[in-house]
Amino acid sequence: MVVKKTPNPIDKHVGSRVRMRRMMLGMSQEKLGERLGLTFQQVQKYEKGTNRIGASRLQQIGAILSVPVSFFFEGAPSGEPAPEGGFSDVSAASYVADFLSTSEGLALNRAFIRIKNPKIRRKIVDLVSSIAGDDDEPA
């Protein structure tokens, strides 16, 4: 019997940060793979955390995506349990990274940033909260 190994949480986090940055730049997996001399399937495996990214490859990816290697580890899980009775900063950072690594999250973020009027931005947040059923939560 073959036991399927689950990806290491750090590998998943680093991969999701690669994906988020690649999407922020509007770069396809194919294009990143081409620049790295890899197939887009290999880039997919990196982004899912299925395949671990070696140090030299991560440095190469950072150079292509114009970020320091440390970018890929920002908000990474520490392996320590979250504080009792509250949320940790890591889970909040992970939540944001997960959101921004989706095409919808990235598109929403890009469009929202282009809205210059703070009152309109506030009304959009209120609208989305209302749709989500968070009417009674303070901003």
Q: pLDDT tens string for the chain (139 positions)?
A: 667 778 888 999 999 999 989 988 889 999 999 999 999 999 999 999 999 999 999 999 999 999 999 999 988 887 655 455 444 454 555 666 677 767 788 788 888 888 899 899 899 888 988 898 875 555 5
The per-residue pLDDT for 80 is 55
The per-residue pLDDT for 27 is 93
The per-residue pLDDT for 41 is 96
Euclidean distance between CA atoms 41 and 31, whole angstroms: 12
The per-residue pLDDT for 85 is 47
The per-residue pLDDT for 92 is 56
- Longest C-alpha distance within the chain, in Å? 59
The per-residue pLDDT for 94 is 60
The per-residue pLDDT for 91 is 57
Q: Which residues of 39-57 are buried (b: 16+ CB within 10 A; e: fewer)?
A: eeebbebbbebebebeeee
The per-residue pLDDT for 135 is 58
Domain boundaries, the chain: 1-75+88-101, 104-134
**6: Cβ–Cβ under 8 A, 6 or more apart, which residues?**
none
Check: CATH 1.20.210.10 for 1-75+88-101? no
